[in-house]
């Protein structure tokens, strides 16, 4: 029944009506100053969203908690999903303040997914997987003020520290713990150190 309700809500003609009905019927907690685009499907266990912006055609569906902090946003046509609990990991997706997905990314949150403050998954068609294989921890964590370029693939259990740049088309299979570096390649490794991933943030902080 719930999947039919959220499908109907996604067709509503105004943003305010979509937000109001998502709060009323599935019982989500979405602030009224949020923007939920046309044909956005939100069919999750729990949704907590404060002043967020979700563009059209996004599908957020599965047995997980979707948490979006203030100022976080998604471009169009992303797919965020989860299968049932994997090896003891709790499915969830948390977007911290002012984090962003651009467009057409596939994000599996079965083992947990976090993108921290001011980080951006840019371009399109990135893949982020948190189930499969044999790992102790399947969760993907992207640190603060990091930049993930287009068409990357993240394997289960990958961690990216703060202020990290991940290059175009990279395939990541390991955890990284060194910040302010460029990670690139297949399999990805550190190829340059001493860089600032989000130059625009650094310029604004200096002003």
Neighbours of 138 (CB within 10 A): 25
Q: Residue 204 has what pLDDT?
A: 52
Q: Residue 87 has what pLDDT?
A: 58
CB-facing half-sphere around the CA of 153: CA atoms within 13 A: 6
Measured in degrees and rounded to the nearest 5, phi and psi for residue 121 equal -100, 105
Q: Is the dihedral of CA 10, 13, 18, 21 positive or negative?
A: negative
Q: Residue 207 has what pLDDT?
A: 40
Summarize the confidence of residues 45-61 as an average pLDDT: 98
What are the b/e assignments for 177-191, b being 16+ CB within 10 Å? eebbbbbbeeebeee
Share of the chain above pLDDT 90, in %: 86
Q: How confident is the model at residue 203 (pLDDT cuts 50, 70, 90)?
A: low
Summarize the confidence of residues 106-130 as an average pLDDT: 97
Q: How confident is the model at residue 53 (pLDDT cuts 50, 70, 90)?
A: very high
Summarize the confidence of residues 6-21 as an average pLDDT: 96
């Amino acid at each position: 029944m719930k999947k039919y309700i959220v499908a109907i809500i996604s067709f509503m003609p105004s943003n305010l009506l979509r937000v109001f009905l998502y709060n009323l019927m599935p019982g989500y907690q979405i602030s009224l100053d949020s923007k939920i685009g046309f044909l956005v499907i939100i069919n999750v266990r729990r949704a907590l969203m404060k002043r967020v912006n979700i563009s059209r055609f996004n599908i957020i569906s599965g047995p997980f908690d979707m948490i979006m902090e203030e100022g976080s946003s998604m471009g169009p046509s992303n797919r965020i999903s989860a299968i049932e609990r994997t090896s003891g990991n709790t499915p969830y997706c948390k977007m911290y303040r002012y984090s962003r997905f651009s467009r057409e990314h596939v994000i599996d949150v079965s083992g947990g997914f976090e993108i921290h403050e001011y980080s951006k998954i840019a371009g399109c068609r990135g893949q982020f997987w948190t189930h499969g294989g044999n790992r102790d921890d399947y969760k993907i964590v992207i640190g603060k003020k990091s930049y993930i370029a287009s068409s990357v693939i993240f394997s289960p259990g990958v961690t990216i520290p703060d202020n990290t740049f991940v290059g175009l088309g990279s395939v990541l299979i390991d955890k990284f713990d060194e910040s302010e570096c460029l990670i690139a390649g297949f399999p990805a490794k550190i190829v340059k150190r001493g860089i600032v991933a989000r130059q625009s943030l650094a310029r604004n902080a200096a002003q």
